[in-house]
Homo-oligomer: A and B are copies of this chain.
């Protein structure tokens, strides 16, 4: 099934079930008022949500209405944990080569970054940021949303608790990134609010494209209407199972934890392009000795979308303008 959260004047919005073609929706508040509430009691509530999804698909859901992504908040407008990975080795390799970085990775230990989860932005909201001098960038990523996970869970146990899959734009302010990385304490000003697709889907909606804890589909990114890149999620290393097991080593994860893949990046970058400006700029440094692609300017528009084998949008599109804060 596909789930979304519509604005209702409250911070957590209201839960709706969305049809597979994203054309129709039906309110699910009678089952759970919010997606957070549904995740808290998933085993008890998911069957009723699936039943409603089946009725909607069959054209028999009373009160169904046209789904309007401009009314969507992030599926979880806030949650109690968001951790982002950096699980596409190709991206790290390019960045390290271009900028002579020596990231002190340990073989077999994935990179995870604890992130704020209080203010996720909706897919069509204008994105406010204070200054172009912050070198605004995007990162197209896949994410999973989990149920409860006990301390010490294995990768397989963790994958069994993946409730939903979606995509997001991990907005990044590159002017602050190296300073914060060198300090060693993670990201604050380098990573402001994150933007999510309108819809999160249960893994079964992905069919064969969800396997080994990876999404085997292209993430299509465009900038101001021009295709920018469409790397595939299959090269993720480790997959979401490995990321979750590392995270759960000495903590239990509570329902509604979101874990991101890191910016999607493929070894055949020359063919498929990148999912962030930083990587394209790094490739330009390697090819030409200098970066040529500019960071985001106020007024630019970004779009992120994933199509399935039949050409149907899976999660709906993130499609938004970047604008001055307070403008």
Residues 108-136 of chain A: 1 if any B CB is under 8 Å from the residue's CB, otherwise 0? 01011111111100000000111000100
Contact present for B114 and A325 (CB under 8 Å): no
Contact present for A250 and B118 (CB under 8 Å): no
Whose C-beta in chain B lies nearest to the C-beta of A104?
B182
Contact present for A325 and B250 (CB under 8 Å): yes
B-contacting residues, A93-113, CB 8 Å: 103-106, 109, 111-113
Whose C-beta in chain B lies nearest to the C-beta of A120?
B80
**Once bound together, how far apart are the Cα atoms of A203 and B271, in whole Å?**
58
A69 on the B face (CB < 8 A): no
Whose C-beta in chain B lies nearest to the C-beta of A84?
B185
A289 on the B face (CB < 8 A): no
Contact present for A81 and B252 (CB under 8 Å): no
**Once bound together, how far apart are the Cα atoms of A181 and B186, in whole Å?**
8
Residues of B within 8 A of A187 (CB): 114, 185-186
Among B11, B185, B189, B256, point to the contact of A40 (Cβ < 8 A): B11
Among B103, B114, B130, B179, point to the contact of A115 (Cβ < 8 A): B114
Distance (Å) between the CB of A251 and the closest chain B CB? 5
Contact present for B326 and A117 (CB under 8 Å): no
Contact present for A111 and B80 (CB under 8 Å): no
B-contacting residues, A77-95, CB 8 Å: 78-81, 83, 86
Residues of A in contact, count (CB < 8 Å): 54
Contact present for A104 and B188 (CB under 8 Å): no
Query: Assuming A152-B325, A250-B130, is B181 touching A118 (CB within 8 A)?
Result: no
Among B116, B185, B256, B257, point to the contact of A86 (Cβ < 8 A): B185
Residues of B within 8 A of A109 (CB): 179
**Once bound together, how far apart are the Cα atoms of A226 and B247, in whole Å?**
34
- What secondary structure prevails in chain A residues at the interface with B? loop
**Once bound together, how far apart are the Cα atoms of A187 and B185, in whole Å?**
7
Query: Assuming A130-B249, A188-B83, A254-B78, is B183 touching A104 (CB within 8 A)?
Result: yes
Contact present for B119 and A152 (CB under 8 Å): no
Distance (Å) between the CB of A83 and the closest chain B CB? 7
B-contacting residues, A182-217, CB 8 Å: 182-189, 192-193
Contact present for B119 and A117 (CB under 8 Å): no
A253 on the B face (CB < 8 A): yes
A174 on the B face (CB < 8 A): no
Whose C-beta in chain B lies nearest to the C-beta of A11?
B40
Distance (Å) between the CB of A19 and the closest chain B CB? 30
Whose C-beta in chain B lies nearest to the C-beta of A128?
B151
A25 on the B face (CB < 8 A): no
Distance (Å) between the CB of A139 and the closest chain B CB? 14
Chain A residues at the B interface, C-beta cutoff of 8 Å: 11, 40, 78-81, 83, 86, 103-106, 109, 111-119, 128-130, 134, 151-152, 173, 179, 181-189, 192-193, 246-247, 249-257, 325-326
4 nearest A-B residue pairs (beta carbon)? A186-B186, A80-B118, A81-B118, A118-B254
